[in-house]
């Protein structure tokens, strides 16, 4: 019997540091990332792919602002920009994964599902934006843009720049989860919950409406993995293993981490917000609620024995 895995591609799966973000770059990155899914397919996994959209949705917002300022075009709200990103990123992953499968004489339908995710409009995250999106700026430019737009910018010391941050409410319900599970268990590869999902809430009973936010894709991926009964959650990032004392002379990689250890390290501030901390919380949430393992690793180690950091119950 096949196992079901949820694979959360990090933003670097499509757009890597130092790149401009051209479609050629993103397609080449998606092809390389997709090749690593073969490890899971060969290990008898059915697959649901989720993905981030931080760089892309930020670029969409900038294009929207430029269109408004130069041509007077209406600016689309953030939930619509998330939907834009779901569509084109899903298309890129679907196309490049299809190319990878064809190169290895494999035939699977690959289906991208535009996914809404229910949030609470009163989530305190709306009063405290933390989710970084878009390109990196130096402090001078970030301060200028913050003053002009009223947006908040924070420093990413790891990558040496400042990024805009937006509200990131907790995901509550994944829409169409039954269809996602049925398609995946029947052998199709499903792309869903792109960018954490399109944030929506009930403005009144039985009436959904979008809301300005970007949901953390790792938390949404963990929620999806729980709700479809996945056997394992793979969270992909740009490091091989989770580290303590990251980027210091005392840096130490972790092969295996229990929930209790993960929560202890989180409380100590070992993991940066907007970077590794949400991934650890997502892994802990999945493991605590299912008793199954989660893996945090880089894309090239997906499905490799002893690759990455394994988060376990005890």
State the SS3 of the chain: CCEEEEEEECHHHCCCCCCCCCHHHHHHHHHHHHHCHHHHHCCCEEEEEEECCHHHHHHHHHHHHHHHHHHCCCCCCHHHHHHHHHHHHHHHHHHHHHHHHHHCCCCCCEEECCCEEECCCCCHHHHCCCEEEEEEECHHHHHHHHHHHCCEEEEECCCCEEEEEECCCCCCEECCHHHHHHHHHCCCEEECCHHHCEEEEEEECCEEEECCCCCCHHHHHHHHHHHCCCCEEEEEECCCCCEECCCCCCCEECCEEEHHHHHHHHHCCCCCCCCHHHHHHHHHHHHHHHCCCEEEEEHHHCCCCCCCEEEECC
11 annotated active-site: yes
Angle at 58 between CA 52 and CA 61, to 5 degrees: 130
Instruction: Check 5, 12, 90, 232 and give the catalytic one.
Output: 12
Candidate list 177, 217, 232, 298, residue with the active-site label? 217
- 197 noted as active-site residue: no
pLDDT of residue 65: 75
**What is the pLDDT at residue 12?**
67
Catalytic residue among 5, 279, 303, 308: 279
* Residues whose CB is less than 8 angstroms from the CB of residue 246 and which lie 6 or more positions away in sequence, other chains included: 158, 270, 271, 272, 276
Range of the domain at 284: 3-312
The answer to whether 12 is a known catalytic residue is yes
Q: Is 195 one of the annotated active-site residues of the chain?
A: no
Establish whether 18 is a catalytic residue. Answer: no
Q: What is the CATH number of the domain that holds 69?
A: 3.40.1160.10
245: Cα separation from own chain's centroid? 24
pLDDT, averaged in runs of 10, over the chain (314 residues) = 93 76 91 93 96 85 80 87 94 96 96 97 92 83 85 79 89 97 97 96 94 94 98 93 93 97 96 88 97 94 89 96
Q: What pLDDT is recorded for position 253? A: 96
Which listed residue (35, 131, 226, 298) is catalytic? 131
pTM of the model: 0.90
pLDDT score at 159: 67
How many domains, in total, are found in the chain?
A: 1
Quick check: 234 and 5 in contact, CB under 8 A?
A: yes
């Amino acid at each position: 019997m096949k196992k079901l895995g949820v694979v959360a591609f990090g933003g670097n799966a499509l757009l890597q540091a130092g790149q401009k973000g051209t479609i050629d770059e993103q397609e080449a990155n998606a092809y390389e990332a997709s090749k690593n899914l073969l490890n899971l397919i060969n290990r008898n996994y059915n697959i649901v792919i989720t993905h981030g959209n931080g760089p892309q949705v930020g670029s969409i917002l900038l294009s929207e602002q430029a269109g408004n300022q130069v041509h007077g075009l209406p600016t689309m709200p953030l939930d619509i920009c998330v939907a834009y990103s779901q569509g084109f990123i899903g298309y890129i992953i679907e196309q490049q994964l299809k190319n990878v499968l064809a190169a290895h004489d494999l035939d699977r339908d690959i289906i991208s599902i535009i996914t809404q995710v229910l949030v609470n409009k009163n989530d305190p995250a709306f009063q405290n934006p933390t989710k970084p999106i878009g390109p990196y700026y130096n402090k001078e430019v970030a301060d200028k843009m913050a003053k002009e737009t009223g947006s908040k910018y924070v420093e990413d010391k790891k990558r040496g720049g400042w990024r805009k941050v937006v509200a990131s409410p907790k995901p509550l319900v994944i829409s169409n989860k039954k269809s996602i599970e049925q398609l995946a268990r029947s052998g199709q590869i499903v792309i869903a919950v792109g960018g954490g999902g399109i944030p929506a809430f009930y403005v009144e009973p039985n009436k959904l409406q979008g809301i300005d936010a970007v949901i953390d894709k790792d938390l949404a991926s963990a929620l999806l993995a729980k709700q479809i009964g996945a056997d394992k959650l793979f969270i992909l990032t740009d490091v091989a293993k989770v580290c303590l004392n990251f980027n210091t002379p005392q840096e130490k990689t972790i092969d295996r981490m229990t929930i209790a250890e993960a929560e202890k390290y989180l409380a100590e501030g070992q993991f940066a917000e907007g970077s590794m901390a949400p991934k650890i919380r997502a892994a802990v949430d999945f493991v605590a609620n299912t008793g199954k393992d989660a893996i945090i690793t880089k894309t090239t180690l997906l499905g490799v024995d002893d690759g990455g950091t394994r988060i376990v119950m005890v």
